[in-house]
A = this chain, B = another copy of it.
Amino acid sequence: MALGDSRKILLAHGGGGRLMSRLIQETILPRVRQGDDDMPLTDAAQVTIDASVLCFTTDSYVVQPLRFPGGDIGTLAVCGTVNDLAAAGARPVALSLSLILEEGFSLDMLESILESIGRAAGALGVPVVTGDTKVVEVEAADGLFINTAGIGVKVPGSVLGFDRIQPGDAVIVTGTLGDHGMTILSRRKGMMFETPLESDCAALSPLTCRVLEAVGEAVRFMRDPTRGGLAAVLNEIASGSRCDIEIEETCLPIRPAVRAAADMLGLDVLNVANEGKMVLIVAPEAAEEVLAICRADPLGREAARIGRIGSPGEDGGLVELVTRVGGRRVVQMPYGRDLPRIC
């Protein structure tokens, strides 16, 4: 691959697709990991301390614009990291907050973003307990980058992993797809719609904890479809479980305005980032209960069962979409450069 061999970082290396996966697997992990450590990659690592199993995760946020309909980089920095803990089956306990500021950045803007952070963390009851602030010269950064790391504790009784996924399991998504990515992108392109787009940026840990407490081990796996969208997450699940996945186009919850914006820009909504959605793989007998719990929560009102896990695939698991007219198409892992700086 000519692009991958250019020995330079490309925007696509950060896009959540195939190139990012290669960078992580081939460049980062072999150098940073120790000895025979080959744990699978999940949204949050498990760390055992004394008798407690902790989850630990980190994310840096570089979204542009810093403010968008439905939130800002501060909201995102809390929700994104909390959602990684949620996907790992954890209840968030504490957050760290690290700011990289560009010289000349507006203090008013900073204050407003910090207020978003305080509001989002406060609503969840998860304190920001430690932090750091760096300032770099004009043009050495783009306004503001935020890193949050998070610690959580596993919800008792939850056992999640690719290896728990079985043929016949239901694929559930907690709501509409593509809202965050299309909001950011249409904002950047200056597009206006009759129904304004709004990011779905929200913290899902209260919802996922409720699901895990109710059905426990019947939840096999969870992941939040951020960069790379539903397509990336389903491909990761297919590859991790080595099972095929079949989803139904008619079951996918997508707002008309999001679909219109994606069509206009020639994007596949399946590849577009979400920031307040979770994909759950659930034992079929528990699917209805999980959907009911989701739908009772404002953040899961449009939860839908969108497909099922198929048989173990010959080639490590293939994701197929059954189209509106009954055709089938393969949903590929996005390559990675559709939408830079979406989060």
Contacts and interface: CB of A to CB of B under 8 A. Distances in A.
Contact of A114 (B28, B99, B340): B28
Given A110-B27, A111-B31, A149-B58, A137 B340 contact: yes
Contacts of A105: 8-9
Given A100-B62, A141-B142, A33 B127 contact: yes
Contact of A62 (B31, B60, B136): B136
Interface stretch (A116-124, A164-172, A197-205, A279-287): A116-124
Contacts of A110: 9, 27
A292 interface: no
Given A96-B149, A133-B23, A133-B28, A106 B52 contact: no
A134 interface: yes
Interface stretch (A42-50, A179-187, A216-224, A251-259): A42-50
A104 B7 CA distance: 9
Contact of A145 (B45, B57, B100, B127): B100
Given A60-B134, A98-B59, A107-B8, A45 B122 contact: no
Interface residues of A, number: 81
> How would you classify the secondary structure of chain A's contact residues: helix, strand, loop or mixed?
mixed
Contacts of A87: none
Interface stretch (A10-18, A233-241, A261-269, A310-318): A10-18
A131 B32 CA distance: 10
Contacts of A33: 118, 127-128
A58 to B, nearest CB: 4
Contacts of A9: 101-107, 110, 135
A56 B96 contact: yes
Contact of A97 (B15, B32, B50, B115): B32
A1 interface: no
Interface string A130-163: 1111111101111001010101010000000000
B56 A49 contact: no
Contacts of A15: 135
A7 B127 CA distance: 27
A49 B54 contact: yes
A127 B20 CA distance: 22
A93 interface: yes
Nearest to A51: B50
A132 B31 CA distance: 15
Interface string A59-82: 111100000000000000000000
Given A23-B133, A34-B121, 18 more contacts: A8-B106, A9-B106, A9-B135, A20-B133, A27-B110, A34-B127, A45-B130, A50-B52, A51-B52, A56-B96, A56-B151, A58-B130, A58-B132, A62-B140, A98-B149, A136-B340, A139-B139, A151-B151
24 contacts: A8-B103, A8-B107, A11-B137, A13-B101, A13-B135, A14-B136, A28-B97, A28-B133, A31-B114, A31-B115, A31-B118, A32-B117, A44-B130, A47-B151, A54-B54, A56-B129, A56-B130, A57-B96, A60-B99, A100-B100, A100-B145, A137-B340, A147-B147, A151-B151
